[in-house]
């Protein structure tokens, strides 16, 4: 039987299952709060599965192993470690955020700073950012489907577009059910991929010796050259600088710590204890799955030191597994990549829609509307945002991991100080919050333009100076405001 027929069978099974699980939650969303935050009644299993499934985006499932394949272990310090630290920040945030009674980060800003302008502008920023980030998920899915089903990339991204819209239309309760299925698919796919790599190793010492012998271009025609014995080194044998790794934390780590797709799950939990337990259990699961991703990335490079006919780092995993794994196993790994892309994209679509309903439309519009009307408008926003991302995905970015770092960096330079500063510093002021966002974003843009280079992964990430300037402005402006208030 042709390989594409086998993959088509896997794809058909996945499609039916996704349609079933997505449909089961539709009838449970009776109000706008049910649709966006699960009525604040979600239990632990649903939260853990949707948290992990949402976390594992195409950047984790394709950009990460592909980058490890090319650059080596240093990528773990560039991405995974900051992500885990960012989850620690979310844990600290949880009790105070839930106590505020906010339904979103922009809503919290309005409650804390009494500024509807800040709420609306932050809501628009979140919508804009997620339109750009959903492109990653559509591209990731498109790469997989076009490779395995041997169909054009443009047709593949239309397929994922339809899946994303369907699973998002049911709201968070519906999304959580489909994420439970996607969560299982992701874990099975990573486990099988890891098992295949380990099965091919003679021993750990032999694997290390082979890894230290790797040298040359991972992808034919790619700029980066792997120095001998650098694959397992934290700084890639001198190719990566310590400041680059530190600056990446300001994007990936602090960006994750302020990411609305995770805070919405904190808000949706039935109580604070459940929200905290969700983060703890999810991090444990994520650590184990990332160990698998690391083994897959390094193992692919040892087994296949160089590959040809690959147009980007993000295509490495699909090309290697299709040639190295048996057809049934590679089909399951393919499903895991698809599940990661869909479960993240639909979550971000839902957050973008909630930002519009709660933080833009709900503030600008003075007219009261019924839940049915608001639900209809929400689904229209989902359709519009998804369509914009689809159009942008026709000409996608080169690297999912690097591109994603810049999107998360926007969150860190704009939301970090107003959010955490507002929660943990009583003297924070409205002007401090507004000017910290403006100065942080301006600094990041200027630094990006000045330092732009094709090998951006080895440069100082522009979110680092952006966060530093944002923090200084937030503190100084707030302090000045409190001094004037005391004088009066």
Q: Which two tokens stand for residue 465?
A: 């100076």
Main-chain dihedrals φ then ψ at residue 471, nearest 5 degrees: -65, -45
Residue-level pLDDT at 332: 85
* Extents of the domains making up the chain: 3-395
CA 395 to CA 286: how far, in whole Å? 31
Indicate the DSSP class of residue 418: I
Provide the pLDDT for residue 27.
66
pLDDT of residue 104: 93
**Res 313: pLDDT:** 84
Residue 176 in contact with residue 265, Cβ under 8 Å?
Answer: no
Contact 211, 203 (CB under 8 A): no
So what's the pLDDT on residue 453?
Answer: 62
Kindly state the tokens that stand for 474: 């937030």
- What residue ranges of the chain have pLDDT lower than 70? 1-3, 24-29, 325-327, 396-400, 452-458, 483-488
Which tokens in the block code for residue 54?
């949402």
At residue 231's C-alpha, the angle toward residues 229 and 236, to 5°, is 90
Query: Taking a C-beta distance cutoff of 8 angstroms, is the pair 145, 160 a contact?
Result: yes
Q: Which value, to the nearest 10 degrees, does the dihedral of the CA atoms of residues 145, 151, 154, 155 take?
A: -90
Contact 61, 317 (CB under 8 A): yes
The CATH number, out of the four listed (1.20.1730.10, 3.30.565.10, 3.40.1590.10, 1.10.540.10), of the domain defined by the range 3-395: 1.20.1730.10
Closest CA to 432 of 373, 383, 387, 479: 479
Query: For every residue of 19-57, which 3-state class applies, written as one string?
Result: HHHHHCCHHHCCCHHHHHHHHHCECHHHHHHHHHHHHCC
Please name which of 383, 445, 10 lies closest in space to residue 189, comparing C-alpha atoms: 10
> What's the CA gap between 445 and 463, in Å, rounded?
9
Structure tokens at 410: 């926007």
**pTM for the model:** 0.90
CA distances to 61, 76, 205, 430 from 457, rounded to whole Å, are 18, 13, 30, 35
* Residues 6 or more apart whose Cβ sits within 8 Å of residue 464: 246, 247, 250, 251
Q: In whole angstroms, what is the distance from residue 470 CA to residue 52 CA?
A: 30
Going by C-alpha positions, the residue among 338, 331, 311 that lies closest to residue 6 is 331
For residue 238, give the DSSP letter.
Answer: G
**C-alpha torsion 355→356→361→363, nearest 10:** 20
Q: State residue 197's pLDDT score.
A: 87
CB 341 within 8 A of CB 140: yes
The pLDDT score that the predictor gives to residue 458 is: 60
Give the pLDDT of residue 457: 60
**Which of 188, 200, 157 shows the shortest CA–CA distance to 334?**
188
Give the integer Cα–Cα distance in Å for 198 and 177: 32
């Amino acid at each position: 039987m042709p390989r594409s027929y086998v993959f088509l069978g896997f794809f058909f099974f996945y499609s039916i299952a996704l349609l079933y699980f997505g449909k089961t939650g539709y009838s449970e969303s009776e109000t706008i709060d049910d649709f966006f935050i699960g009525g604040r009644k979600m239990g632990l299993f649903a939260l853990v599965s949707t948290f992990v499934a949402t976390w594992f985006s195409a950047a984790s499932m394709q950009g990460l192993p592909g980058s490890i394949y090319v650059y080596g272990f240093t990528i773990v310090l560039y991405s995974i470690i900051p992500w885990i630290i960012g989850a620690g920040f979310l844990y600290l945030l949880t009790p105070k955020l839930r106590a505020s009674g906010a339904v979103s980060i922009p809503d919290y800003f309005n409650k804390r700073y009494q500024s509807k302008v800040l709420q609306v502008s932050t809501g628009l920023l979140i919508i804009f950012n997620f339109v750009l980030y959903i492109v990653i998920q559509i591209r990731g899915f498109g790469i997989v489907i076009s490779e395995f089903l041997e169909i054009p990339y443009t047709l593949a991204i239309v397929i994922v577009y339809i899946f994303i819209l369907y699973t998002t239309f049911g709201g968070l309760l519906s999304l959580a059910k489909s994420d439970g299925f996607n969560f299982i698919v992701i874990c099975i796919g990573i486990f099988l991929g890891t098992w295949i790599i380990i099965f091919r190793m003679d021993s750990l010492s032999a694997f290390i010796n082979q890894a230290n012998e790797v040298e040359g271009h991972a992808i034919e025609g790619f700029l980066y050259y792997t120095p001998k014995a650098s694959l397992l080194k934290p700084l890639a044998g001198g190719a990566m600088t310590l400041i680059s790794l530190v600056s990446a934390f300001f994007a990936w780590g602090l960006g994750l710590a302020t990411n609305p797709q995770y805070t919405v799950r904190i808000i949706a939990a039935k109580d604070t204890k459940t929200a905290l337990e969700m983060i703890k259990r999810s991090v444990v699961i994520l650590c184990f799955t990332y160990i698998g991703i690391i083994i897959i990335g390094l193992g692919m490079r040892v087994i296949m030191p160089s590959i040809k006919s690959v147009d980007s780092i993000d295509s490495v995993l699909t090309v290697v597994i299709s040639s190295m794994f048996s057809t049934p196993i590679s089909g399951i790994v393919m499903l895991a990549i698809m599940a990661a892309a869909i479960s993240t994209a639909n979550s971000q679509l839902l957050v973008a829609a909630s930002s519009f309903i709660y933080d833009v439309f709900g503030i600008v519009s003075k007219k009261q509307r019924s839940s049915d009307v608001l639900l209809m408008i929400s689904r229209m926003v989902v359709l519009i945002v998804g369509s914009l991302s689809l159009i942008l995905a026709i000409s996608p970015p080169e690297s999912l991991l690097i591109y994603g770092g810049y999107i998360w960096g926007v969150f860190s330079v704009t939301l970090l100080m107003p959010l955490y500063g507002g929660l943990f510093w009583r003297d924070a002021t409205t002007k401090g919050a507004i000017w910290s966002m403006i100065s942080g974003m301006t600094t990041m843009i200027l630094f990006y333009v000045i330092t732009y280079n094709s090998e951006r992964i080895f440069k100082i990430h522009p979110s680092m100076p952006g966060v530093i300037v944002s923090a200084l402005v937030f503190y100084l402006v707030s302090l000045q405001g409190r001094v004037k208030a005391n004088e009066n």
